A and B are shown apart, each in its own frame.
Chain A
Amino acid sequence: MRIGLPRALLYYWLGPAWKVFLQEIDLTPVVSEPTNKKILEDGVRVAVDEACLPVKIFFGHCLHLIRDCDFILVPRISSLQKREYICPKFMGLPDMVQRVLGQEKRDHILIWKSDEKFFWDTPQAVPKGFFELAGKKKVKAALGKAKQTWVEYIKLLQKGYFPAQAEQLLLGESALPLFVPGRSGVGVIGHPYCLYDGFLNLDLLNLLQNGEYNYQIHTPEIFSEQEINLELSDISKPVFWTLGRRMLGAARALRKKGVAGLIHVAAFACGPEALIGELIRRECKGHDLPLLQLNIDEHSGEAGLLTRVEAFLDLLTVRSRRKEGIRCG
């Protein structure tokens, strides 16, 4: 049986582990291709206007997968950490996808649930159908395998590999080494699906990394939970959105790491980012760290984005020259 895995939203954190899980219970995981124009257009067409771009893209991936898959795995993720949430849209995702797929196909989704506890250790998270199909024992073993993969995967991300490269490495293929010593760094923060979906952010990471700019990129994924929490220990009320907490912590940690500037990529009208972005702005202002905040939606034009990024990078160059000048003089 072919099970579709949409390459969108938290796929960039959990995808490889889901893939392993499905393989372990003798199902065929089918990962949708990287986002392209058709996927985006389809997603935008079926979604309500107010939904954010990543959610619209998720719908697009579902519509593409349903054509040749028996089922699609749609997560309902309330929280990944105790007393934390992601976003209401993640909690209502299966219900929204059902509307998008329409009457005929609406039952062709499998809901992977999570509540307060993270789900590799809780068999309740697994869609019920899998138990009937593979038996309890096999599912539990597969969960163990998945968790193992996930831990390895997260370790690779922490080393600085991007999700696509980390996935290649997990499969035993070789991937390009990421860090080139001597190159100066820029921090790029944003929710994983905003950073690693090249189509969504108009290939921002590539632009920064390759070609004339040649910057080393640091993303929030290089920091472990402990590192992030350590940065935020002085905050009076803990940030209770997992992604938002990581953004704020990463902004602080990256500043200490000595990056030349920060680029914050957010989806247009993203709820938590509206508030967290404000805190990040204050953080950067207080420490004189250049910050570029990009809001992206389906109308973002490449030229406009490029101009803003170029202007920002020029500013970083001028700043670093000036600093050197002061040091020499």
Chain B
Amino acid sequence: MRITFPHMGLLSIPVQSMFKSLGHEVVVPPVINKRTFELGSKHSPEFACLPFKMNLGNFIEALELGADTIVMGGGIGPCRFGYYAQVQREILRDLGYDVELLLLDPPSSGTKELSKALRLLRGENSIKGIIHALRLAWAKTRFLDAGNELFRTVLPRVSDKKQVRKVYAEYLHRVKEEEKIKKIPRIHSDLKAFLSKMKVEKGRRVLRVKIIGEIYMVLEPRVNNYLEDNLGELGVEVHRQISMTSWVEEHLLGTIFSGHEKRKKALARPYLASFVGGHGQETVAEMVDAGVNRYDGVIQVLPFTCMPEIVAQSILPEIGKEFDLPVLYLVLDEHSGEGGVQTRIEAFVDLLTRRKKHKEA
């Protein structure tokens, strides 16, 4: 069994680690590239959202490298993600790939896919082995997100940005290769120690911008034109509530971490009283949060035709007006040009800078 799975930002690191510790052979799809875009959009329905197309592109490229089993998420909800796998399975079959698709479908969806998937993934592992694999993956997830947050804070402030990027890349590599749970916090403190010694650029006016929107588009830098890195280079401190950690805490460990759900509902209620699938309500909630905490601006990133985000998008202008908070809407698909997006981001940052100067004066 040669397992593959779709990319989403840094997700490949903990997922790969988990499958490896369970003793499976893992074929990580090539990092999303031009060909992934081409393959994905060629074989997908025209109006499917970009994550669907990218997933499919990942699968095809991994199958070419010899993968024979795909692990994919499922679920039931108004968002289309829950039905991705069904359609992708049909498309791959038509393309002539003989592939096993293991669907991680919650038991409430009425299919028996989950137990089958778990049985196959468990293999010969003992309970202890499984717990170790899960704990290792969870530790990696948490520290990757923590390291990323540190990186986002430091990048806009220091003068030698190249060095920061290099150290951060090394950090990611070390976390990826580490197999002992205990050692991961130490890698993180190394990063912290190094970054805190970096020279801060003097007189730099750092803007605070929050990124909201659909999780895949927010977390995958290759589909959003390296939005966070580019903002960092322009002197913007990027904040976001969306992360792998918060997703796991909210959706898989919701009983322990019930705060996420409560926070979301409390913030969104006056503007969007109902769950609308995907991250629609989160988007509205985080916009309110950005307003309350006086952020300089907000960027909503969503794939073209994303239904939950369109509901949120209809409501954001009013919140923006109420809190005097500028919003940039980035609706992206496979046709989005790099130059066009970059120009819009730069223009937005210019606008925020001028606003800030004006306010301070």
Q: Which A residues are within 8 Å of any B CB, using their own CB?
A: 47-48, 50-51, 76, 78, 83, 85-89, 91-92, 94-96, 99, 236-241, 268-275, 277-279, 282, 295
Supply 24 A–B pairs (Cβ within 8 Å), ascending by A.
Answer: A48-B310, A50-B313, A88-B277, A88-B278, A88-B310, A91-B78, A91-B276, A92-B276, A95-B271, A95-B315, A96-B311, A99-B314, A236-B111, A239-B83, A240-B76, A269-B47, A270-B47, A274-B49, A274-B80, A275-B52, A275-B83, A275-B87, A278-B45, A295-B47
Contact B78 A96, beta carbon cutoff 8 Å: no
Give chain B residues whose Cβ lies under 8 Å from the Cβ of A271.
47, 49, 80, 305-307
Give chain A residues whose Cβ lies under 8 Å from the Cβ of B307.
87-89, 271
Q: What per-residue 1/0 map shows which CB atoms of B301-321 lie under 8 Å from chain A?
A: 000111110111111011000
Give chain B residues whose Cβ lies under 8 Å from the Cβ of A83.
76, 108-110
Main SS of the interface on chain A? mixed
Q: How far is the CB of B82 from chain A (nearest CB, A)?
A: 7
Give chain B residues whose Cβ lies under 8 Å from the Cβ of A237.
74, 83, 85-86, 103, 105, 109, 111, 113
| Interface residue? B274 (CB, 8 A) | yes
Which 8 interchain pairs have the tightest Cβ spacing? A92-B311, A274-B47, A85-B78, A278-B45, A88-B276, A271-B307, A88-B307, A269-B305
Interface set, chain B 53-101, CB cutoff 8 A to A: 74, 76-80, 82-87, 90-91, 94
Q: How far is the CB of B78 from chain A (nearest CB, A)?
A: 4
- Contacting residue for A275 out of B48, B77, B275, B312, CB 8 A: B48
| Interface residue? B46 (CB, 8 A) | yes
**What range describes how many residues of B lie at the interface?**
35 or more
Contact B314 A96, beta carbon cutoff 8 Å: yes
Contact A275 B45, beta carbon cutoff 8 Å: yes
A274 CA / B105 CA spacing, docked (Å): 21
Which partner residue on chain B sits nearest A47 by CB separation?
A: B314
Give chain A residues whose Cβ lies under 8 Å from the Cβ of B345.
none
Give chain B residues whose Cβ lies under 8 Å from the Cβ of A91.
78, 274-277, 311
Q: Which B residues are within 8 Å of any A CB, using their own CB?
A: 45-49, 52, 74, 76-80, 82-87, 90-91, 94, 103, 105, 108-111, 113, 271-278, 280, 304-308, 310-315, 317-318, 331
Which partner residue on chain A sits nearest B311 by CB separation?
A: A92
A18 CA / B94 CA spacing, docked (Å): 46
Give chain A residues whose Cβ lies under 8 Å from the Cβ of B113.
236-237
Contact B87 A278, beta carbon cutoff 8 Å: yes
- Once A85-B277, A275-B48, A278-B87 are accepted as A-B contacts, the answer to whether A95 and B311 lie under 8 Å apart by CB is yes
Contact A50 B331, beta carbon cutoff 8 Å: yes
Give chain B residues whose Cβ lies under 8 Å from the Cβ of A51.
310, 314
- Once A89-B311, A95-B311, A237-B86 are accepted as A-B contacts, the answer to whether A78 and B274 lie under 8 Å apart by CB is yes
Give chain A residues whose Cβ lies under 8 Å from the Cβ of B274.
76, 78, 91-92, 95
Which of B46, B76, B78: most chain A Cβ within 10 A?
B78
